[in-house]
Copies of this chain bind each other. A is one copy, B any other.
Amino acid sequence: MTALPHAHAPTRIPGPAVARLALYLHVLRNYNLRGIAVVSSPQLATAAGVNPAILRKDLSYIGANGVRGVGYDVAKLIGRVSMALHTDDTHSVALAGAGRLGQALLAHTGVGRGFTVTALFDDDPALIGTTLSDGGPVVESLDTLALAGGWDIGVIATSDDRAQAACDAFLEAGVRQLLNVTATTLQVRLETPGVVIRQVDLALELQVLSFQAKHAPDRPTGSDANTGSEESGSAPSGSAAARYRETMTS
């Protein structure tokens, strides 16, 4: 926290840019694993399915340090984006709901992106006291959730009818950042300040998807190096984080 060595521009990062940066980070990590040390903005942009121009703009928000005529140092860029997204620090996550969805999440988030599930809650008596993954936390009763605390993020993956209870419990436990992957729309008391809730509803994504498909009209015109071909069409923004595909030109 506090002042960094060379805090370049205190520019406010646009919302959509944050989502894309997280996306770049993912792609960059893959490049790193494949041993690619340098990447250019056209390369990275096509890999992420965005315009090279907006990629450069996004990177400019976090003070990118690429080499003109060459590109970006992958490792260095990973560090920079991680820092901007606060992913260099590890966040502790509590997961409510140890059903299929919860278990999938447990495996999904453990990939190593700075998030560790340190607590697991469920109502199922058969699950309480057991461990779902190697080295993972022991499942506790949902009732005890509100009594504990100390997590940075709470993930709600319960059944729909228990989502609100889990939400209330998290708030009581002092958890302010919630990711809700149930189909329930959560209610938050007005008194509670600073709460950030993020909702991911897969059924909703299906609806948006099928709508986009029915209305995909014209292909985007790329003047830069973007050979944008398939897809796109409508939904210019939508969830920026929720619409990328690699288009590795042959």
Contact = CB atoms under 8 A, between A and B. Distances in A.
A188 interface: yes
A162 interface: no
Q: Which of A93, A109, A153, A200 has the most CB of B within 10 A?
A: A200
A143 interface: no
Interface stretch (A35-43, A52-60, A63-71, A238-246): A238-246
A175 B237 CA distance: 23
A115 B203 contact: yes
A186 interface: yes
B153 A243 contact: no
A207 B111 CA distance: 13
Contact of A245 (B18, B199, B210, B236): B199
Interface in A9-43: 12-13, 15-16, 18-19, 22-23, 25-27, 30
A17 to B, nearest CB: 10
Contact of A205 (B198, B203, B249): B198
Nearest to A16: B237
Contacts of A107: 100
Interface stretch (A72-80, A121-129, A134-142, A211-219): A211-219
B18 A211 contact: yes
Copy number in the complex reads 2
A152 B210 contact: yes
Contact of A190 (B86, B207, B230): B230
A151 to B, nearest CB: 12
A34 to B, nearest CB: 13
B238 A16 contact: yes
A242 to B, nearest CB: 5
Given A30-B185, A115-B206, A198-B242, A99 B108 contact: no
Given A22-B207, A185-B246, A196-B231, 14 more contacts: A18-B211, A26-B201, A26-B204, A49-B185, A105-B202, A108-B183, A111-B203, A186-B246, A190-B230, A195-B230, A196-B212, A199-B243, A201-B241, A239-B242
8 contacts: A100-B100, A115-B206, A152-B210, A185-B246, A197-B245, A198-B212, A199-B245, A204-B241
